[in-house]
Amino acid sequence: MSYEITNYGHTAPACPPSAGKDGLFSVSHLALQVVLTCLVFYLWSSPLVQPIKLMVVLFHELSHGMMALFTGGKIISILITADEGGACETEGGSEALIVTAGYLGSMFVGGMILYLSRARHFVPLVFGLLTLILVAAITTVIRDSYSRTFASGLAVAFVLCGFLAPSTIGILLLRAIGTFTCLYSIFDIYWDILADQGAAFNQNDAMAFSRLTGTEPQVVGTAWLVACLVFFLVVLKNVLQPEDDLPVPEAARESETFNLPAP
């Protein structure tokens, strides 16, 4: 009787560890990121990206709501408006954390989408998870017709992108969505808080945090902006890595295969 033992995951690499690397970053990924970033700035005021801006606003309000749930509160309602406004009414939970979660939460969502865009097999998972969150919000806390219509259309778009479109298109869309969400969150903090564009309405998150803690809104906004910039740079550092530098989970453990002789 003969048998053969095959080991997976511990064999010697066929090429040196440095083979296939472009250096500290991948030139192709850097080029794609530069193109997407320039495209975001070029189309910033275009009606073409208005739905994406509303999507980020929805992420912002959902982040408030998720933090309310995480800190023991509940969500009463969530809505967005056509002029990129939004509101999340909550009850209970940690008010300071709920207020903080808006800008930082949408930044985190955008950063994770951008990071996961590197892995082809994550495309259906990311779009599927976003769809489930939207469906849960639509059926529970999003009640006005405009917000429901937009969120429903967004959920359908996520299903199409994640499960029906080619994976290459899905990866490109995730990269674009993640990049736009991160940049929008950064500029939203600057314009709403540091540039005082939201002061006239007296209803931005930094002012709410200031009322809760006594901290100056400008100080709060600066801290949030620095946190977002650092997080964005860390995400970019990982996104731009060469393929060989990416952390890849061990897909197969050591196993044995036995070849039995023919009778």
Are the C-beta atoms of 201 and 84 separated by less than 8 Å? Answer: no
Q: Check whether 63 has a pLDDT greater than 60.
A: yes
Tens digit of each residue's pLDDT (9 = 90 or more) over 133-166: 999 999 999 999 999 999 999 999 999 999 998 9
Q: What kind and span of H or E run contains 5?
A: none
Which residues, in sequence order, are CB contacts of 141 under 8 Å at separation 6+?
Answer: 65, 75, 76, 77, 78
Give the predicted TM-score (pTM) of the model.
Answer: 0.80
**2-6, 151-155, 193-197 — which is least confidently predicted?**
2-6
Question: Can you tell me the distance from the alpha carbon of 237 to that of 245, in angstroms, rounded to the nearest whole number?
Answer: 11
Determine how many CB atoms are found less than 10 A away from the CB of residue 142: 26
Name the token pair of 139: 């059926």
Distance, in Å, from the CA atom of 232 to the CA atom of 42, rounded to the nearest integer, reads 20
User: Looking at residue 192, what is its pLDDT?
Assistant: 82
Whole-angstrom distance, CA of residue 28 vs CA of residue 253: 32
Least confidently predicted of 18-32, 33-47, 139-153: 18-32
pLDDT at 202: 52
Q: Are 207 and 221 in contact (CB under 8 A)?
A: no
Residue 200 clears pLDDT 60, i.e. is over it: no
> What does the pLDDT read at residue 25?
74
Q: Please provide the DSSP assignment of 203-259 as one string.
A: -SHHHHHHHHH---HHHHHHHHHHHHHHHHHHHHHHHTS-GGGS-----S----B--
- Residue 142, SS3? strand
pLDDT value of position 158? 96
The DSSP symbol for 14 reads S
**What is the pLDDT at residue 119?**
82
Is the per-residue pLDDT at 250 higher than 60? no
- For the chain, the straight-line distance linking the first and the last C-alpha, in angstroms and rounded, comes to 10
The DSSP output letter for 121 is G
182 touches 110 (CB < 8 A): yes
Assess contact for 75 and 65: CB atoms under 8 A: yes
